[in-house]
Structure 1
């Protein structure tokens, strides 16, 4: 496996898949994307934050400006207690552009369309079920009986990755963070005051609530502590109408707009995003001619605000390494560049999730200590992860 590669199979057509294919194409490697679902994912998913580091990674493949026009800037995050007391305000350093709040569906459509415009083939209805590895190539086997062969197979197939299990059948599974996710976009004119480009996040008595008013619409989410993990399908099966009642009860005592927004949400408009999960540290990111990117390798929970940005970074960095190094060296270099960074962010996110699910005693301690801790913290150190840049022109070696 000492040769440079010319062709790649990208498994998964979400956010990381098209970005990986575009980055590989820019590196001179022909890539085809294979998506398990028959159709596209328009309208699927809630809002997410695309951080400055993620936008910079898209700039490396000429797609940053495409995404900047999609969302609204998030000038800062204001942390509050249940009674409206401000605990902290976290803003991007003045040297960085703001994080952008975008709907996942909008981001997906933009990246999908750009990949197609660049001549990248995306095939649907291709659910991976197995692989055959050879000395010079790897063949993907799909549930419909078809196959595809390339010199590299990239798993961009999300937190429940099939490729991850093929690389390492003993790989750990996603770890539940103790929270279920919900959200919606309310068009209630004047129902809540304008947030001035800020995201307000509230540690409620029984749930965590986030809100930003964008274009007159209230984009909101709730992280609800739940003792047992529910799969996305189980959470949906419980029913949006029943969940809205649960959410209203959980937010009833908090001095936020949550209760009013929940009460005026049509059940058909409630986004049930399912369990919030992290990926435990994986012993192996690659094997032979197979490698992982994005959530399949390093999914932080949504509390990080970095899931999409880290996935985009890894896609670009993998392509840079594959451009400059023989395959075995490229995969080792890619992991060495990415693993310390993503594991550090995942570890920080686990602490954030603990704060969201704090009990009565933990809540009091958190609300008392957080303002002190934030005042003592060096703002530049706190935002250091946002400054990360990939120098596409620099040799990966």
Structure 2
């Protein structure tokens, strides 16, 4: 058993650059291999970075880069379709606010931060296969093969390649596929809505037919997202065959009966800044996170739906914890230690988000029951201490990891 010195990081989205920076801080040389031929600047909509995510990024000194592109979101105010205020969720005392950020901005910030530290990202490298080097019972490294005919070798291979991870299928050919949540996801920006600033609060609404969230910033811009129940899954490419103008018409019809300013926001939405992500998905549990010298991180290991508000934050946490484990232990011990540190937490958050999705996708009868139950439930749940277990997660980088 020898110390890991080099790593191949497959996937250059969010988890990949963070993992590479954390590995570099741990004394491990990492190179990122990205399937896209160029940078993925225009991919994805709005998301939140929770305090725990910022804290994880602070361990590797990447938190300020994210703060620079995010806007504060200190609380969430929940309404029913009638306009009735059901609850307000504030962050736990003493923690900085969440940050609302567009995924392309987050991607660019992390990409630039990694590049500034000398981390190389090789583009046009779509992974097709990988095999272990050395004895089968005690591999010494990994060789990765890419669609362009090239190959690369390192001590370990880290799959940061998202919810449809190729590395996950290599590690375990029987690994589960993504699960459709019953919701399509949309987002965008609106100007000149005439709405007053919501300050640092995100407003959310359980509509009669769909779910909506928005935040009006001091400069008058309004960032919004919508979750629309849909009976069958729809991929990103399928969803984007429909024009933004047509989707906006569909959304206006879905929210036509709701007594919140959703229609004003949608009418002012710029089609050029409209984002359709297709079907929202998760994976409740990935049974196998690692095999030999290969391991998963981020959505490849623990894909939660966007309803959690924790996807990017969990990816940052896992990337930093993985690097910490590889710093202190040989791969054969580091990967099980990493999984023990992460599995229970991430699966609990995935399950919580799944319960939220079921409320968003409620049918006519379930919606009536939901609207009856929600006011009481919100009074019980809308307490900062109820969310502290998610937000108050700390990584003690300086403490050695033991097997």
Instruction: String of CA shifts for 1:264-320, please: whole Å, max 9, x gaps.
Output: 334333211111111131110011111000001101100000000000000000000
Q: Partner residue of 1:314?
A: 318
CA contact (8 A) 2:191 2:268 kept: no
Indicate the larger mover: 261-270 or 41-50: 261-270
Match of 1:362 among 362, 366, 370: 366
**1:249 and 2:253 are equivalent in the alignment:** yes
CA drift at 1:180: 0.2
In 2, Cα distance between equivalents of 1:313 and 1:18:
13
Match of 1:382 among 376, 387, 392: 387
CA contact (8 A) 1:200 1:212 kept: yes
5 Å-filtered alignment, 1:148-163, equals 148-163=152-167
Q: Partner residue of 2:83?
A: 84
Q: CA RMSD in A?
A: 1.2
CA contact (8 A) 2:9 2:33 kept: yes
CA drift at 1:238: 2.5
In 1, Cα distance between equivalents of 2:366 and 2:384:
25
In 2, Cα distance between equivalents of 1:265 and 1:96:
33
Alignment length, in residue pairs? Answer: 395
Match of 2:343 among 339, 346, 351: 339
Q: Secondary structure at the match of 1:21?
A: helix
Q: Partner residue of 1:67?
A: 66
Indicate the larger mover: 357-366 or 56-65: 357-366
Indicate the larger mover: 202-211 or 67-76: 67-76
CA contact (8 A) 1:175 1:279 kept: yes
CA drift at 1:239: 2.5
In 2, Cα distance between equivalents of 1:59 and 1:232:
32
Instruction: String of CA shifts for 1:320-370, please: whole Å, max 9, x gaps.
Output: 000001111100000011000000000001000001011223223222322
Q: Partner residue of 2:196?
A: 193
In 2, Cα distance between equivalents of 1:301 and 1:93:
23
Q: Partner residue of 1:212?
A: 215
**1:45 and 2:38 are equivalent in the alignment:** no
Instruction: String of CA shifts for 1:170-200, please: whole Å, max 9, x gaps.
Output: 1000000000001111122x43221121000
5 Å-filtered alignment, 1:253-292, equals 253-292=257-296
In 2, Cα distance between equivalents of 1:160 and 1:275:
13
CA contact (8 A) 1:87 1:367 kept: no
CA contact (8 A) 1:173 1:280 kept: no
Q: Partner residue of 1:19?
A: 18
Structure 1 length-normalised TM:
0.97
CA drift at 1:219: 0.1
Q: Partner residue of 1:117?
A: 116
CA contact (8 A) 2:297 2:318 kept: yes
